[in-house]
Each structure stands twice: as structure tokens, then as C-alpha cells.
Amino acid sequence: MNVKTRKNDSFKNFLPYMILLGVILLVFGILGFQSNKVNELTTGELIAELKKDAVTEIVVMPKSNESIYYLTGKLEGYKENESFSTKVIGSELENILLLIENNEKITSYKTESDPGENIFLYILVNILPLVLSVVVIYILISRVANMNKGSMDFARSKARLSNDNEKKSFKDVAGLKEEKEEVEELIDFLKNPKKFEKMGARIPKGVLLVGPPGTGKTLLAKAIAGEANVPFFFISGSDFVELYVGVGASRVRDMFKEAKRNAPCLIFIDEIDAVGRQRGTGLGGGHDEREQTLNQLLTEMDGFGENEGIIIIAATNRPDVLDPALLRPGRFDRQVTVSLPDSKEREQILAVHAKNKILASDVNLSNLSLRTPGFSGADLENLLNEAALLAVRRNKNAITMDEIDEATDRVLLGPAKTTRKITDKEKRLVSIHEAGHAVIGLKLKDAQEVHKITIIPRGMAGGYTMMLPKEEKMAVLTKNELLSQITGLLGGRVSEEMFLKEISTGASDDFKKATRIARSMVTEYGMSDLGPVQYEEKSEGVFLGRDYSKSKNFSDQVALEIDQQTRAIIEGCYKDAKKIIGDNKDLIMKLSDALMKYETITKEQIEVIVNGGEIDTTPEEKKTSERRKPKAEDKEN
């Protein structure tokens, strides 16, 4: 809301009070005017006063359309707010006027027109107060009525109908090829339902979009409505849940009632897990209001009533918590998994978000897509936006690869803390630590590829080594690949022990990740001497806490064996890391020296060091290095 709108709203709020104040002032003004003392004199009394020369002021006002005149004025001895008034017939006026002309004590003599002849004055004095009173009463009554109306609308649906400006099409959705093909039937049904009815086919009443956050579930739902060119209602699952029991159910009924008027149409419920969680769960029992709402939603989707021409699309990233009745055939018949994009889809997404951005010639979207595995569509949009902000901040005419690299680090770990003071000892420790991670990645066969090493602090990390898969693959990892990941995570601690003869707290997060992988190998993947048995389920108790209801299908003896197997995996990887780093001490020191000098080295520079060469600093890198150095005033501080 802009400032002008806020000013208009403030003026509207104060307008009734300003009008009321005006009416009060006007009423008091009239009362004050009427408080003046007016003495009524007969014609004879006025003539007597004129003959005694007691009249000092007089005003003659003829009454319109009548032979009657009103004479007002003052007599000697009258106070300031005191006056007289006399009604005179036209035949007697001539004698009175003659007495007035012969009276030398009259200091003021005027002849005025009748106020009744002035329409504006008449309205101002007689009609305007009445009109203002009616207006004030009307405003006050309207406000009370609006308050009552708001309370009556409490149970109305909050689903909004999208307008033409919000329409999307499949052209606006990059990637998601299989997902688009899966929902093509919905579009075809909405356009030509008779074709399906003729064959006796029943179109799915509901489609559940499942996937990680930021993968484009909401955008896909908008594109379906845009392609079908039908009304599109959208609402969040939390909009149904209220404190009072029955309100959510009433909103569900109202939403379907409105949808029936606009059928065929689409209803999109975002984050449906807010209202569709499994019933009867939780330590304190179910939430009665939420369960009533869910029951009404189940009834409306497939109950006694028919909702022909209404297709519901819902989105969630937690399908495991949804009530089974919500997922049965006849309700959400079809689940469409919207997964993270692969490299080709990431390139298409980057191209969509790069349309309105000025990219330099060194920016290659194809290469950038290979460097961003695991990024969702929202992450990629944020990446380019951060790069654009950095380019503006650096007063550049285009977004270069330097801004892209910095933006990638920002998205992953946060902004660089370039002004933080770091001692040479701490800097050497971090460089040795990160060089240990990198050497494991360089020398171990199944390890991931090293793309960048930096000792610039970001977020909670003092430095980090960016390692990416050598080739993009499905989420299936071999035992050797998992062991290589653990070995790479332990490389930092091993390097500290071997070169600095001391250890630090910098490896705590590495141990956490390594322990998690090793325990999963033993309890979930069956990759230990305990055999192909799953001892722990991967899903977590979402109602009773993350670990409160985690099932452990083993005895205390097996628990001891699990701990022993986990420790054996960690110790074996630790020995491997020691051997690799011990065989490559010279490379560790070269990488550490380069990090001490440049703070950040890229994949190409790492390859030069591995091959025994020297890094050739380009002018652009020199500028970047200078920019990262603290200013003189920072050093003084």
C-alpha cells in the first residue's frame, strides 16, 4: 500500500468525526444566536418610543408577497445583545417612516430585503443542519452494518478467483515435461468433456502435486487453468482452519458452492497438509476444528452430492502425513511428483528467468546448469536475482560470471564476511583444513569433483570446498560412493592433525554428516556386516516430534552392534583419508599456500596446481582480490 492510499484511508476514517464536529459547532452557533434578547413591541409602543427620541438604531425589512413589514433595532438603555422587534402593517409604515426621518438620535437606519428571499441563506440556516444530521446518522448506521456484515462473512470461503493478468501457460513453465504430459488429460477434459463421457471414462476428480519446495507446483497448477481457459480458484490450506469449530467446514461448503456456479473450473489448494493431516493423531488427540474441515472436504470431493466439472488440484511436500481417505480413488485419484530439475531442465529454467536480465558474454547458462545440481526452480530464480543485485551494486553494465559465482555462494551459505578480522594462524588452519577435503576429492576414484576452494567466511563456515558430482544421476548411490563421501568429510580433520599437530572445532559439521551417512548405511541400506536388514525407518514422527515416535525394530544387543558397525565404517574411512593425505603432503601445502595468497581458487586453478604449475592471476581476478581486501579504515578499527 502506498503513502497516497494510506492518506486516503485516514481521511475516510476521520471524515465522519469531522462532519459530526461541524454539526455540533453549527448547533451551538445557532443556539448562541438565539440566546440574544429580543423584545417584542407593538406598533403603538414603537411610535411612542420614536416620539420620545428613544430609538437609536432601526432596520426596516419588508415581508415578501405581503403588506407587512418587520422593524428591528435598539432603544436607549439596551444592552449589546438586546434588541426590539415590531410587526407593522403597510398602512401605518408611512407615519413611522416620517417619525424616523425627524428623529435626530437615530444613528443607524437601514432598509434590508427579507432573508426569506435569499435561497442560499435560507438553505444554510434551515436545511443544511438537518441534512448534516441525516448524513452523520447514515454513516454511523453503515459502519455498524458493515461490522455485522463482516461477522456474517466470517464463514465465507477465502478462495480467490484469479484474474486475466495472473494467467499462465505451459510456455511459462520450464522443464517438467513428464508432469505436463500427466495433466494434459485434465485440460482436454475441461475443454471437451463429452469426448470422455462418450467413452464412459471418468476424469480424475483430484490431482495431488507432490514435490520438494520451490519445484513449481503452484506454477504448474496456474498453467493448467490457463491452458484450459477456465476459472481458477486458489486458496491455502491454512485458510480453512479457525479457532471456532465448524467455521472451516462452512468455508469448504461455500467454496464448492461458488465453484459450482463457475463450473467447469479448477480449485487449487496450496499446502493441503495444513488441513488434510491424518485424523486421530497427536499426543492430545485430534484438532476437532481441523478434522471437521477435513470431513467436509472429503464429503464435497466424493460424497452424496455431485460436483461435475470441478477438478481439485492440491500441492504438498509432505504426502506422508495426509489422511488415507483423502488419497483414495474418487478423491485425489492421481499423484504427480514434481521433482527437482535435471541439468537440461535447469538450463531451460535459467533461460526463462534470464529473459529480462542483461548477461555478459562470459555467462553460459548450459555450464551454469551443470554447476547447480540439487537447485530447485525457486533457487535458480533467486540465484540470477542475487547476481543482478550484485551487478547493480558494483556499477556494472551486465551480469558477469563473477557475480554468478558470488551469487551461488550466497544462495548456498550466505554473504561473504570480508570485513571479519582473521588471524594468520586461523587463516592457515582453515586453508589446511579445506586443502585436506580437496585432496581427497582429487585423488579418490569415487569421490565428487572439486570445483572451488575458499577460506572466506560465509554464514557459520570459516571456509568451504565446493564438490559436485562428476555426472548427474538419479538419487541412487553405491557403497563405494558413500564411503568416498565419508572419507572426503574426514579429510579436513586428518589434514589438521598431520600438518598442524592439533585439532579444532571446525570439523564438527563434517563429523555430523559423516556419522549420519554411516548410520544410514548400517540401519537403512544394509551395507554392513549386519546384513540386508532395515533397523530404522527413514520417515520421522511428524506429529509427536522428529525422533519421539521413530521406530527401532531391534534389541539392545543389536543396538550395540549397530554402534560398532557405524564406528568401524568411520574408522576405516579415517585410515583411508590418512593414507591419501600422507601420500600428497606437497599438494596439500601448495593448495594451502594458494589459498593464503588468493583466498579463493577455482577448478581450473586447482588443475594448474595439481599439474605443478603456477596460478596466473588475470586482471579481473586482481580486481576481485583487491575488492575482498579490507580497507585502510577497517584495519585501523
Amino acid in position 69: Y
- The Cα-based distances of 487 to 282, 330, 403, 480 in angstroms read 40, 50, 32, 10
- The Cα-based distances of 622 to 449, 464, 597, 598, 619 in angstroms read 26, 21, 11, 9, 5
Contacts of 155 (CB under 8 A, 6+ apart): 246, 247, 250, 251, 254
Integer Cα distance of 287 and 271 in angstroms: 18
Residue located via cell numbers 459547532? 25
Burial class (CB in 10 A: 0-12, 13-18, 19+), 121: exposed
Catalytic residue among 347, 434, 496, 599: 434
Residue located via cell numbers 418610543? 49
Q: What is the 3-state secondary structure of 127-149?
A: HHHHHHHHHHHHHHHHHHHHHHH
The string over 25-46, giving b where at least 16 C-beta atoms fall within 10 Å of a residue's C-beta and e elsewhere, is: ebeeeeeeeeeeeeeebebeeb
H or E segment to which residue 74 belongs:
strand 68-75
Strand order in the sheet with 449-454: 464-468, 449-454, 600-602
Contacts of 337 (CB under 8 A, 6+ apart): 179, 210, 211
Nearest to 398 by CA among 360, 361, 365: 360
Q: Contact at 8 Å (CB) between 297 and 275?
A: yes
H or E segment to which residue 600 belongs:
strand 600-602
Active site residue 291: no
Nearest to 173 by CA among 165, 185, 181: 181
- The Cα-based distances of 95 to 44, 46, 47, 66, 91 in angstroms read 11, 11, 9, 19, 8
**Catalytic positions:** 434
